[in-house]
A and B are shown apart, each in its own frame.
Chain A
Amino acid sequence: MDYLQISKAANIRKKITSGIIYALLAIWAVIVLFPFYWMLLTSVKSYGSYNAEHIPSFFTLSPTLQNYVDAFTTVSLGKYLTNTLIFTLITTAIMMVVIVLAAFAFARLDFKGKNIVFTLFLSLMMIPNELVVITNFVTVTNLDMRNSFLGLILPSVTSVFYIYLLKENFAQIPDDLYYAAKVDGTSDYRYLRRVMIPICKPTLITIVILKVIECWNSYVWPRLITDDPDYYLVSNGIQEIRENGFGRENIPAMMAAVVVISLPLIVLFLIFRRKVMEGVTRGGTKG
């Protein structure tokens, strides 16, 4: 047997395989990135030049920021962004308080009926949003909270899954710490604030990021509950821009709006890349 020949053949085959793999991965990377490139490119083409292109060109020599100006002046993109920011921040903040308290109760405190309640909570995780949205819509309408932040925020606060995730994390803190704190005369609330929250900060940050992404992209509930453009979030805003936007079909300006809407989350993701991906691996879903 000629070992040298086998070595060489194996080496060549390895190179070919890795070439194919890289080619495949590169193709998918292009498929993923191309829409982003296209929206960026289109957003800096002028209205005139975009519509003059029968064959779209892959670059532009005369980039313009006019579309971004249009996006903020002709339509109320700024308003949509502020609305979304307010909605995202308040929803996330309230949710964090609610879930930290609940997770603490489940993980640390002893009380009658705890296990039954927790099982009940877990079973709620399986309930699809579509089932409860109908009544929530009616409830919020009846409470006269349509077109208000309250109506937008309140039903979006609940998240059984995050309570579960946080409770698991809290439960990993050794009991000894709790007993040590008790001996030192620390109250439960103080223990939660000074010990548990700092220790579980990574998980809390992950939850915050996931919730922010969810809020920023939420579409269905805001669509149902708002028909006054003053309360539109970005998802509804972009839909509004598409349908009634600039008075005429101004695609470059629309793309400028799309860029502005997409950018915050992309930046957030690039900063917290590891945390986001780790968090999603641990149980995020989309859709």
Chain B
Amino acid sequence: MKIVLQNLTKKFPSRTKKSKDEVVAVNDFTFEIPDGKLIGLLGPSGCGKSTTLNLISGLQKPTSGKVFFGEDDVTDLPAEHRGVGLVFQSYALYPHLTVKQNITFPLENLKGIHKMTKEEMAARALEAAKLVQIDTLMDRKPGELSGGQQQRVAIARALVKMPKVLLLDEPLSNLDARLRLQTREELRRIQRETKITTIFVTHDQEEAMSISDLIVVMKDGVIHQIGKPQEVYDDPINQFVATFLGTPPINIFHGYVEDGRLFIGNEAVLSVTNVPNQEVTVGIRPEGFILDENGPLTCKLNRVEVMGRDISVVSTHDLCDNAAIRSIIDAENNVDTNSETVHFALKPTKVHLFHKGTGERIRFEV
């Protein structure tokens, strides 16, 4: 089922009682989530991701705007009747119920023609448990499970009622690094198998990039960019999106354009023919550097980190905002670690120019 958000806005009264300012958690969202896809809502904490999720689940009511499930307007429909599956950040497993009781809990709520017998429920619960591979833990209580197992129970509980939409709020944030990697693959697999439209919220861009069909990058209640992960990475709409995506992060330099050439300091590093003269912010992806004795960009060399297939050259530059410039280069290149400086040429596709004031992207031709 596709989900459509139309001019969705949610305002909260300010936390300090005295001022009448409102906090706009979600500001005029309009976008369509296609059926059967895995969508990552991505942004720094406090950007309104979780609020968006709550508006879709019905736990919160929008200040204005509408939510559609398919063609139906569900804006005023209480959460109880929306039939969504929701996995909470802290899982919200009922501590006094066993895993099995937790998973069958949503099924016991069904009424009328949907009412199920105990056997049907048990069968469905087992099916869901098998999908997330916890069918051997059915009689334990949540307190006796590890974080990863609890997380699977939470997913099973959300899936068991075969929801039209599955919502996950920071589903992996309480897991340790290794488990997080494993579980996110799992999530992808489950979504593929069930084909349920799934929206998950995360502040971890790597997580969002790695498994989403589409990512929605947000900040301060505003959507910045929607697109396929690679597209958003390669073609960020502004400086925020560019800096938020990518590890190691993009390197930000202060530069200016003069006569169709991009300068960082006194060095003309790239030709940008169609850009009028102005000061610009230059973002260079770590993989946008080419080691070149005669390259125009000269940086002070700090150290070289060998990472197997690649090497990471760590250097500094007076006009760079990052404390250290990280550039990732093929390991076949040799870097003279005794040298004080390192010279780079740049790959034009990995260099983005942004407007100095607004951070908007300035597109250029080589």
A residues at B contact (CB < 8 Å)? 1, 3-4, 6-7, 10-11, 14
Most chain B Cβ neighbours within 10 Å, of A3, A10, A14? A3
Residues in B neighbouring A6, C-beta threshold 8 A: 77, 81
> What would 9 more interface pairs be, CB under 8 Å, given A4-B76, A6-B77, A6-B81?
A3-B73, A4-B73, A7-B76, A7-B77, A10-B78, A10-B80, A10-B81, A11-B76, A14-B78
Give 9 A-B contacts (CB < 8 Å), ordered by A residue.
Answer: A3-B81, A4-B73, A6-B81, A7-B76, A7-B77, A7-B78, A7-B81, A10-B78, A14-B78
Residues in B neighbouring A14, C-beta threshold 8 A: 78
Residues in A neighbouring B81, C-beta threshold 8 A: 3, 6-7, 10
Residues in B neighbouring A7, C-beta threshold 8 A: 74, 76-78, 81
CB distance from B57 to the nearest CB of A (A): 15
In the complex, which residue of chain B has the Cβ closest to the Cβ of A14? B78
CB distance from A225 to the nearest CB of B (A): 50
CB distance from B63 to the nearest CB of A (A): 17
A14 to B78, CA, bound (A): 10
In the complex, which residue of chain B has the Cβ closest to the Cβ of A9? B81
In the complex, which residue of chain A has the Cβ closest to the Cβ of B81? A6
Q: CB of B72 within 8 A of chain A?
A: yes
CB distance from B67 to the nearest CB of A (A): 11
A7 to B73, CA, bound (A): 10
Residues in A neighbouring B76, C-beta threshold 8 A: 4, 7, 11
Residues in A neighbouring B80, C-beta threshold 8 A: 10
CB distance from A17 to the nearest CB of B (A): 12
A130 to B81, CA, bound (A): 57
CB distance from B78 to the nearest CB of A (A): 5
Residues in B neighbouring A1, C-beta threshold 8 A: 72
A6 to B80, CA, bound (A): 10
Q: Which positions 167-206 of chain B face chain A at CB distance < 8 Å?
A: none
In the complex, which residue of chain A has the Cβ closest to the Cβ of B76? A7
Closest 3 CB pairs of A and B: A7-B76, A10-B78, A3-B72
Residues in B neighbouring A3, C-beta threshold 8 A: 72-74, 77, 81
CB distance from B110 to the nearest CB of A (A): 14
A7 to B80, CA, bound (A): 10
CB distance from A3 to the nearest CB of B (A): 5
In the complex, which residue of chain A has the Cβ closest to the Cβ of B77? A7
In the complex, which residue of chain A has the Cβ closest to the Cβ of B69? A3
In the complex, which residue of chain B has the Cβ closest to the Cβ of A13? B78
A11 to B61, CA, bound (A): 13
Residues in B neighbouring A10, C-beta threshold 8 A: 77-78, 80-81
Q: Which positions 69-119 of chain B face chain A at CB distance < 8 Å?
A: 72-74, 76-78, 80-81
In the complex, which residue of chain B has the Cβ closest to the Cβ of A11? B76
